Amino acid sequence: MNAYERARVEYAKWGIDTEAAMERLARVPVSMHCWQGDDVVGFDAREALSGGIQVSGNYLGRAHTPSELMADIEKAFSLIPGKKKLNVHASYAIIPEGETVGRDGILPRHFEPWLELAKRLGVGIDFNPTFFSHPMVKDNLTLSSPDEEVRAYWVRHGKACLKIAEYFATETGAPCVINFWIPDGYKDIPADRLSPRARFKKSLDEILDTPYDKTGVYVTLESKVFGIGLESYTVGSAEFCLSYSAQRGITPLMDNGHYHPTEVVSDKISSLLLFNEKIALHVTRAVRWDSDHVVIFDDETREIAKEIVRNGALERVFIALDYFDASINRVAAWVIGMRNMEKALLAAMLLPNERLAEYQQAGDFTHVLALTEEFKTFPFGDVFDEYCRRQGAPVGADWLREIEIYEAEVLSKR
């Protein structure tokens, strides 16, 4: 018996079907964010990153062009098991030389190369309007700006992006999740907290009043607690975004870097599942603050995965990653985070979830704790290795060798 066979038997003793788990996992899409590959720079404005988010590090090999970024994404995809999606920001529009178009005028054709890439990779695309790193962001404000010219500009951007999301959904045949996040906020204590939020609400209403294909396009709204330089007030707070999503019938998005440090998204998922048909996540790793470190196989990532699996919500939760680390090989950063998300989902499927819930129901927390701890050292890694093998992805740390070669042959020559 090989290691996987032994693991299969071990799990089977607890009524856990490793084969079914692997098959199930292979159908769960995880959306990989294009912006890890170029430090969130994009192609359209080439402005310094703004919006209260920050990338640190200067590792060699940052992608500077669409073809470089796409090559890096393809490399990363080849090293990640499971079903993937591409997550693209509007700032990654590919505008032909000589053509000038603002963010309020972007069209589906500016994203045709992204569609071609997605088709080649056989994946769907998710999309994001980009309300940052742009000269029309004035005083850190976009959709909540009191300057009507600024606000209207960004409303037009939102509408243009809905059309692009529709194009992606139609052309790929996969649903397109379009996520709205604005950086709007204030460094210091505002005198009026209501008006900016009222303007944000009005702007979103104007954008969403545009008819769009609600079967192919899922609009999500991401909340936040603070940004760098915007510490005192965030227009799109948790309460705003949850309430707006509920009232408007769109999907709330939780980024696990966007809460106070002792709050955890894993505990919020079940509540949102009770009141929303779908929910969306940005899985990230916050180290002391919203630092956007690479996702690791840590307790919170695992707990998030458990909540999705245990609540039977694999089809109701849009899972996307969101982090940006320029201090390590950027392609490796993608691979590490994506493999860890896959691992966390598989690990959650390989727990005696029903049995644990029964113990809880019966008030037997001794068994809940004891079994949870025992399962931490079950031969989970052997199943993950087998999953990688079957998915045609490198097993164990073998993928790292490929990164070394890619770094030597491609990235170091940029």
Please identify, among the stretches 31-39, 112-120, 250-258, 350-358, the one whose residues bind Zn ion according to the rule CB under 5 A: 250-258
Known catalytic membership, residue 267: no
Known catalytic membership, residue 292: yes
Known catalytic membership, residue 163: no
Residues 78-137 that bind ligand RNT (CB under 6 A): 128
- Our finding on whether 342 is near ligand RNT (CB under 6 A) is no
Among 282, 285, 302, 306, binds Zn ion (CB under 5 A): 282
In whole angstroms, the minimum distance from the beta carbon of 382 to Zn ion comes to 33
Token pair of 124 as six digits: 């769907």
The one catalytic residue in 126, 322, 325, 407 is: 322
The secondary structure of 323-342, three-state, reads: CCCCCCCHHHHHHHHHHHHH
Token pair of 80 as six digits: 């990640």
Q: Which long-range contacts does 56-60 make (Cβ < 8 Å, 24+ apart)? A: 56/325, 56/326, 56/327, 57/325, 57/326, 57/327, 57/328, 58/326, 58/327, 59/326, 59/327, 59/328, 59/329, 59/330, 60/407, 60/411, 60/412, 60/414
The one catalytic residue in 38, 290, 325, 386 is: 290
Known catalytic membership, residue 72: no
**Is 305 in contact with 344 (CB distance < 8 Å)?**
yes
Question: 128 touches which of Zn ion, ligand RNT, none (CB within 5 to 8 A by kind)?
Answer: ligand RNT
Known catalytic membership, residue 268: no
Rounded Cα gap, residues 257 and 29, in angstroms: 21
Give the residue with the Cβ less far from ligand RNT, 111 or 378: 111
Known catalytic membership, residue 104: no
- Our finding on whether 126 is near Zn ion (CB under 5 A) is no
Among 84, 282, 293, 306, binds ligand RNT (CB under 6 A): 282
Element (H, E) at 179: strand 176-180
Known catalytic membership, residue 322: yes
Among 11, 111, 154, 181, binds ligand RNT (CB under 6 A): 181
**Is 39 in contact with 324 (CB distance < 8 Å)?**
yes
- Our finding on whether 322 is near Zn ion (CB under 5 A) is yes
DSSP 110: G
The one catalytic residue in 33, 85, 282, 306 is: 282
Map residues 43-82 to x or -, x wherever contact with ligand RNT holds by CB under 6 A: ----------x-----------------------------
CB atoms within 10 A of CB 59: 16
Token pair of 127 as six digits: 């999309």
Token pair of 111 as six digits: 């994203």
Give the residue with the Cβ less far from Zn ion, 72 or 255: 255
Rounded Cα gap, residues 49 and 54, in angstroms: 7
User: Which residues form the catalytic set?
Assistant: 181, 222, 224, 255, 258, 282, 290, 292, 322
* Positions in the binding site for Zn ion (CB under 5 A): 255, 282, 322
* Positions in the binding site for ligand RNT (CB under 6 A): 35, 40, 53, 128, 181, 222, 224, 255, 282, 322
